[in-house]
Structure 1
Amino acid sequence: MSAKFPLVAVYADESCLGNGKSGDTPGGLGALIEFRKNDGTVLRFDLWASEPNTTNNRMALRSVIDTFEAMSRKGNRLSVLFTTDSRYIVDGMSSWVRGWMSRGWRRKDGAVENVELWQQAVAAIATHQTQWAWVKGHAGHPQNEYANYLATRAAAVQDRSDGMVASQFESWWAGEQAKGRGNKPLSPFPVVEQFVPAAALPPLPVSRLEQ
């Protein structure tokens, strides 16, 4: 990715307790946001949110929407590498939405599930350079594991950070190492198992999003 704007790495995950089962299915999302400064140092922030009755896919989409909206509050334009273990997000944002948009937000064989959230996600990234990367979940990737920790905690206690807050990643990581679980190398912008390059989608008129 040739970055024109400040470089940011986002590691996001989602959780849904009892996903697919009857009854309430509380869910959460978590994101670790790393801003790389000009001197090479990294500023880290956490973000999390929850819903009382949801699905994994909805929370995965919310992880994109909430994170980009939080990063955009000051009008920043950013070059973002968004890493997640959700193929739903990586494939959807890299490929599927283009076809849906060309057909007026419909699939070839019918309606798009969670269409309003997909539209919000496209709108949220519109002013940024964005690329999407997949990483295998629950495989010891430090930042992905931390995002999972934030998401599952949010799902369990049903709270939210209300935007970006100072990250607790370093203390959490030290604790994982003390327990013998922090065995993967830590890097602000690591090489992931599969990288999916994708140019940012063009901004959409509000009228197009509301169709």
Structure 2
Amino acid sequence: MESEAPDRPASRRHAVIHTDGSCAGNPGPGGWAATIRILCDDGRLAEPVVLTGRVAATDSNRMEMVAAIEALKAFPAGTATVFSDSRYLVRGMTEWVRPWKSRGWKNAEGRKVRNRDLWQELDALASGREIAWTWVKGPAGHRENEDVDRLARAAATAAA
């Protein structure tokens, strides 16, 4: 990704990221996908970097989270806007993580937070960075969301 905006230091780049996760059954074989497009100095978006993966046995929430984790790992510096059709992911990162951490990773009912391992990894990857977590209705005519949805479903099918 360095070559896509060579005049801008990595810490000042902005990425537009679309993520999705899918499961063939819930739980079941899962897949995830993400696209990363760097905002160029001239205002246009670079060609997308496409990431996908699959897991033999998982659930859809974990796949949604893994898609975001892998995208942030691939774009480790700079600001980002992450688009997801997962309310679980977006609300988790914008509303729930801070209170969970303050309660020792317990939810409001005092129970252990589900998927704590992934929430902690996401929190660490987002720490110190400006990331806008944006929910999009999907699939509902949002081209980039439909692209990652198709890729995630294909990965889940391949994992079956």
TM range (shorter): 0.7 to 0.9
Amino acid at match of 1:118: W
Q: TM-score, normalised by structure 2?
A: 0.87
2:44 & 2:136 partners in 1: Cα distance? 24
Establish whether residue 30 from structure 1 lines up as the match of residue 37 from structure 2. no
Matches within 5 A, 1:1-211: 5-20=12-27, 25-43=28-46, 44-72=48-76, 77-109=77-109, 110-158=111-159
Identity of aligned residues (%): 37
Amino acid at match of 1:145: E
Q: TM-score, normalised by structure 1?
A: 0.67
Shift of 1:120: 0.7
2:128 & 2:156 partners in 1: Cα distance? 30
2:58 & 2:103 partners in 1: Cα distance? 27
Shift of 1:71: 1.3
1:30 & 1:144 partners in 2: Cα distance? 10
Aligned residues: 148
What CA RMSD, in Å, does the superposition of the two structures yield over aligned residues? 1.5
Shift of 1:111: 0.7
Shift of 1:108: 2.5
Poorly superposed stretches of 4+, deviation over 4 Å: none
Shift of 1:87: 0.2
2:83 & 2:13 partners in 1: Cα distance? 17
SS at match of 1:113: coil
- Greater Rg over alpha carbons, structure: 1
2:123 & 2:38 partners in 1: Cα distance? 22
Amino acid at match of 2:83: T
SS at match of 1:50: strand
1:108 & 1:141 partners in 2: Cα distance? 34
- Contact 2:34 / 2:68 at 8 angstroms: preserved in 1? no
1:138 & 1:131 partners in 2: Cα distance? 20
